[in-house]
Amino acid sequence: MKKLFFLLILVISVLACNQKEPQYVITGNLDGLTDEGQIYLKKRKAGKYLTIDSAIVSNGSFMMVGKTGLPEMHYLYVDGKRGAGRFFLENLEIQITGSADTLYKIEVSGSPVQDEYNAFNDGLSIFNDEFRANYEQRKLAKDAKDNEKLALLDVQSDSIYKKYIAFQLDYVKGHPASYISPTILRGASYDLDGNELGEYLNGLDESLSGLEEVKTLNERAEVLKKVAIGQPAPDFTQNDPDGNPVKLSSLFGSYLLIDFWAAWCGPCRAENPNVVAAYNKYHDKGFDVLGVSLDRDKDKWLEAVEKDEISWTQVSDLQYWQNAAAKLYGVNSIPGNFLLDKDGIILARNVRGDDLHKKLAELMD
């Protein structure tokens, strides 16, 4: 109690001495905190989470005092607990409540930018409800082996997803000076090419140019422009499971699918049978696949290759999301792929399911 009292006096003194200088004061009270435990405030930069501030828990509470620049997304971590809480930090008095065991559910007050973000997320709830209903119907149809119903639900799911993304991109267009727009744009940008992403970034207000999120998105746009449809596929070399180097360009001469995946990725494993079927059908006609694994556990990678009956060339540097080829191609979600022509020119991006078969039929049948 004495420690907490001393901390409060210290903070009041700091505030009194710096009345003209903006700063943040974060006070938190989370269920499940352990006294003397550590709380960390982090910020995402260049794909890494850097510690900005920290505090020691006292009587189940914590406090941080410091300065930040423009309002940006920050992350709250608790020693010994999984996950993180996300919120927009600005130079104001901010209160955090909730549970240390469910950090993703923390409630944040005192930040107008966070209030705007909460309201935006409330607007997404209708799509989340539709996704949930679609998922429940899909389970029933799968149990009933109703393939016709499953096909209709696939179409419905795609439609919901397109509306979900359109809602986010419309918000960015309509709120060019909002501090939350770059964060929304990052989440909605997975299917945008470099030119499309660049157009949205150019539409943002100049006042946001100093945000780390904007800088990262600009860098991503430049990477994506280099792997746009019609561009020559950037060459790279990675080792196969036996340690032999495989150069991408050594496989040119066939229609080639660069398939980014991982053993731990559920959607990738669900897509693998589809790629296997396409490979078996079109390989003799001049279709090949190069699998690039974002695994870091070699044994699990090879186990998945065997279980999923993958017979095409596989490579990896076992660096997880830092895989050099994935970074070169701007891949930040998997499964992801690039279809190349026989000369290594990019023909299509992220063709999956029936779309992959239709594209190959168009090219080879």
* Successive 10-residue mean pLDDT values, the chain, 365 residues: 46 53 94 93 88 94 96 95 96 96 96 97 95 93 89 90 96 97 94 93 96 94 95 97 97 97 95 96 96 97 97 97 95 94 96 93 90
Report the pLDDT value the prediction gives residue 1, as an integer from 0 to 100: 44
Which of 176, 191, 226 represents a domain boundary (last residue)? 226
Contact 214, 185 (CB under 8 A): no
133/253 Cα distance (integer angstroms): 45
Identify whether residues 73 and 133 lie together within a single domain: no
Nearest one of 246, 242, 230, 228 to 289, comparing CA atoms: 246
Give CA torsion, residues 197, 198, 202, 204, to 10 deg.
30
Tell me the residue range of the domain where 307 lies.
Answer: 237-364
232 located within any domain? no
Report the pLDDT value the prediction gives residue 13, as an integer from 0 to 100: 52
Contact 290, 258 (CB under 8 A): yes
Contact 248, 345 (CB under 8 A): no
CATH number at residue 50: 2.60.40.1120
Residue type, 334: I
Q: Is the peptide bond before 335 cis (omega within 30 degrees of 0)?
A: yes
Identify whether residues 146 and 254 lie together within a single domain: no
Span 284-294, pLDDT tens digits: 999 999 999 99
Identify whether residues 93 and 131 lie together within a single domain: no
102/229 Cα distance (integer angstroms): 42
Specify the number of domains making up the chain: 3
267 located within any domain? yes
254/340 Cα distance (integer angstroms): 8
Span 144-196, pLDDT tens digits: 988 899 889 989 998 999 999 999 999 999 999 999 999 999 999 988 999 99
Report the pLDDT value the prediction gives residue 228, as an integer from 0 to 100: 94
Which of 88, 110, 132 represents a domain boundary (last residue)? 110
69 located within any domain? yes
